[in-house]
Amino acid sequence: MALAVSAGLFMDLVDSSALATALPVLAQEFHRSPIELKFALTANLLMSAILIPASGWVADRWGARRVFISALVVFLLGSIACALSNTLPQLVAARILQGAGGGMMTPVGRLIVLGNSERSELVSSLNWFTIPAIIGPLIGPPIAGLIIEHASWRWIFLINVPVGLAGLVSILKLVPRLRHPHPGRFDFNGMILVAISSIGIVASAETIGMPILPRLQWAVLFSSTVIVALIAIRHILRTEKPALELRLFAINTFRASIFGGAVLRLSLGASPFLLTLLLQSGLKWTPVESGMVMLSGTIGSFISRFMAAVLLRRFGFRPVLITFALGASLASAFPAFYRETTPAIVIIILTMIVTLIRATHFTASSALAFADVPVALNSRASTLSVVVQQLSQSLGISLGALTLYISTLPTHGTIEANSFILPFIVIGAVGLAALPGYLALPKDVGQDMNGRDPRRTAPKLQPLSPSVEGESGSILEKRTRHSAGH
């Protein structure tokens, strides 16, 4: 069932990674620079982040299965629109439509898995659910390389149609209908504030330091974004059932997992964008050759699927998260030192190692996020975690593009191998910010999820429903402090 549900996520990630491989070709066809093509990548992620806050409420209101199927259909329509695009604005608009479907598929799919899994099976279920999510970005580049070599780039999106139809059949057969209580009134005002804040954050990141907006206009954009974000936070903390439940960050395990995963997903967002340009523009590799390098990471991702569960049972969540967060940060900087003289086998092996380390970390991090979240709040926790993931990957692309642009200033925009030293070192260094949160976790954190201590259960937190104005989140905070004391 988990694999059937993850089909939509698989297609979304295959498209994003395949599109990254096709950027140099699309840049020539659309008469744009490769850096400008980043908008086609971030537009999809941004639209997903905007709609995700409504996904939990919509799934509870009309049923997760029905919503997931509808979102998959929208995604397929967006794929067809991408294939018919002839200009960059058209491609960006089609990617936004794809993002509308993907924005619902990912969190709702996770809710389906969570709703049909026992707590003791949660790590295993999420493990299978994330397999396509890991494989998708890896097989997308070689598929794109082969398509570009032997056919039109438009087939990158058209192949989604048969895959999507097969996914629909599997979902109809394997995914049961889940009954949910009526979720009540939706926080429409909160969603609008979150959407404006998200757009402002991504727009500010996309244009900072770039010759797109004058400094004064950028300052106005950034200042306005900060103001709206503060208003959104104030609204959320005063609302009983907000569009995004930020009070979940009072849970130590959730906060550490989401923040740690977010900073490391910056490299996950930036790496395909940067590595493709490095191999094709810097090292003069063909799309097929660069795509095959990314495919080598599939071996590492498969190994991590089984290795992660073993490591978590043997050592626990805290040591695994600390070790692999540090390893992922350092490994993300490896491509900074690739040159034309670097043997291809070395690049292939290092790509496999980097993927293994990242996948192991994300498996542990994703599972730990729900360690102390009560079942009643799974929907809101899933929504918040996916929003952070989408925004962090989008910001990763922006960070990669900005540092690459700065690196190409001395060469007047010409992309060389040396242009990638700064970008890869920066995204590697950013990942180190995850370590303080993981170091602060208790040594026995998450033991009830890996089978080492079956007597331990998650804290019995109640749904957030503050009855006194001005005390929003107090129930969660008090119970979290109580559980931490044990």
Each domain of the chain, given as residue ranges in start order, spans: 2-179+243-452+465-485, 187-242
Q: What angle do CA 248, 252, 255 make, to 5 degrees?
A: 60
pLDDT digits (tens, 9 = 90+) for 304-347: 777 887 888 888 888 999 999 999 999 999 999 999 899 999 99
What pLDDT score was predicted for residue 115? 66
**Residue ranges in 241-377 assigned as alpha helix (H):** 252-277, 287-295, 297-315, 317-332, 344-368
What pLDDT score was predicted for residue 426? 94
What pLDDT score was predicted for residue 236? 92
> What six digits make up the tokens of 70?
């509808």
The reported pTM is 0.76
What pLDDT score was predicted for residue 464? 38
Helix (H, G, I), strand (E, B) or coil at 349: helix
- DSSP class of 250: G
Q: Does domain 2-179+243-452+465-485 have CATH number 3.40.225.10?
A: no
With a CB cutoff of 8 Å and minimum separation 6, the contacts of 301 are 131, 134, 135, 138, 355, 356, 359
- DSSP class of 177: P
- Euclidean distance between CA atoms 447 and 457, whole angstroms: 9
Cα torsion angle, 183, 186, 191, 193, sign: negative
- The region, left, alpha or beta by phi > 0 then psi within -120 to 50, assigned to residue 341 is alpha
Cβ atoms of 57 and 79 within 8 Å: the answer is: no
For residues 244-278, one letter each, b for 16 or more C-beta atoms within 10 angstroms of the residue's C-beta and e for the rest, the string is: bbbbbbbbbbbbbbbbbbbbbbbbbbbbbbbbbbb
- Euclidean distance between CA atoms 324 and 93, whole angstroms: 37
- Euclidean distance between CA atoms 346 and 340, whole angstroms: 12
- Euclidean distance between CA atoms 322 and 324, whole angstroms: 6
Which regions of the chain are under pLDDT 50? 452-486
* Widest pairwise Cα distance in the chain: 67
Secondary structure of 379-448 in HEC code, one letter for each residue: HHHHHHHHHHHHHHHHHHHHHHHHHHHHHHCCCCCCCCHHHHHHHHHHHHHHHHHHHHHHHCCCCCCCHH
What pLDDT score was predicted for residue 53? 81
pLDDT digits (tens, 9 = 90+) for 344-385: 999 989 988 988 898 888 888 888 888 788 877 877 887 788
What pLDDT score was predicted for residue 40? 85
Q: Could you write out the DSSP letters of every residue in 457-483?
A: ----PPP----STT-TTHHHHHHHHHH
With a CB cutoff of 8 Å and minimum separation 6, the contacts of 131 are 3, 6, 301, 305
Cβ atoms of 19 and 142 within 8 Å: the answer is: no
Nearest to 40 by CA among 106, 105, 93: 93
What pLDDT score was predicted for residue 97? 92
What pLDDT score was predicted for residue 424? 94
Question: What percentage of the chain's residues is helix, strand, coil (to nearest 5)?
Answer: 75, 0, 25
